[in-house]
Amino acid sequence: MKKVAVLAVQGAFIEHEKMLCSLGAETVELRKKSDIEQEFDGLILPGGESTVQGKLLRELGMFDILKEKIEAGLPVLATCAGLILLAQEVTNDEKRYFATLPVSVKRNAYGRQLGSFHCDGRLKGIGMYPMEFIRAPYIESTSPEVDVLAEVDGHIVAVKYKNQIALAFHPELSGDTRIHEMFLGQIG
Ligand code: GLN
């Protein structure tokens, strides 16, 4: 059975676990350093607050080991705040986290008032997909080797780069399991 670790220090991780379980995957929660010592085949970086998640990852001693695993090729699905954690560049914030994904993102890019909305967008390899945006970032630019999977209103909202899939929206809230299926398909 495929075993997926879900970062569970803050944010919308339970919804990812439910979706993965419904697809027959096993999940483990990463809450403390000893949790990352076990074997797992994939990693979910959920939505939430990237500043809080980044701080906790460092304080809990998980940051360096997870960064190494991502760099070594561990399949990762990152959503919203998770995208910010992966981004090499954040155009409106000083903080950097894993910086394993060669993209520039803008935090809270849709503004704080109109920050949350729903739309259907075309996702490469999947087709029309219901996208939930919650105080979301978008991707302002990517390096050429990054595969752009979706754009909404001229802004990049989904990319794939090697072992990393990163989305500005929340597939775990959509009721549509196709992105999680695609991710599981990339695991071992
Ligand atoms: N605004 C959050 C951040 O900058 C991301 C929001 C989300 O994950 N839904 O971290």
Residues 6 or more apart whose CB falls under 8 angstroms from that of 41 comprise 2, 3, 4, 74, 75, 187, 188
Which amino acid is residue 14, in one-letter code?
I
pLDDT single digits (tens) 75-122: 999 999 999 999 999 999 999 999 999 999 999 999 866 679 999 999
pLDDT single digits (tens) 42-82: 999 999 999 999 999 999 999 999 999 999 999 999 999 99
Residues 6 or more apart whose CB falls under 8 angstroms from that of 59 comprise none
Cβ–ligand 1 distance for 48 under 6 Å, the answer yes
Cβ–ligand 1 distance for 108 under 6 Å, the answer yes
Helices (H), 78-119: 81-86
Distance from the alpha carbon of residue 80 to the mean position of ligand 1, in angstroms: 6
Other Cβ atoms within 10 Å of 65 Cβ, number: 13
Question: Coil, strand or helix: which one is 66?
Answer: helix
Distance from the alpha carbon of residue 137 to the mean position of ligand 1, in angstroms: 7
Annotated active-site residue 155? The verdict is no
Distance from the alpha carbon of residue 143 to the mean position of ligand 1, in angstroms: 23
Which ligand 1 atom sits nearest the alpha carbon of residue 133? Answer: 9
Give the side-chain half-sphere CA count within 13 A for 121. Answer: 26
pLDDT single digits (tens) 142-178: 999 999 999 999 999 999 999 999 999 999 999 999 9
Residues 6 or more apart whose CB falls under 8 angstroms from that of 62 comprise 30, 32, 33, 35, 36
pLDDT single digits (tens) 20-32: 999 999 999 999 9
Question: 185: exposed, middle or buried (C-beta count within 10 Å: 0-12, 13-18, 19+)?
Answer: exposed
Annotated active-site residue 80? The verdict is yes
Q: Which residues pair with 144 in a beta bridge?
A: none
* pTM greater than 0.95 (yes/no): yes
Annotated active-site residue 119? The verdict is no
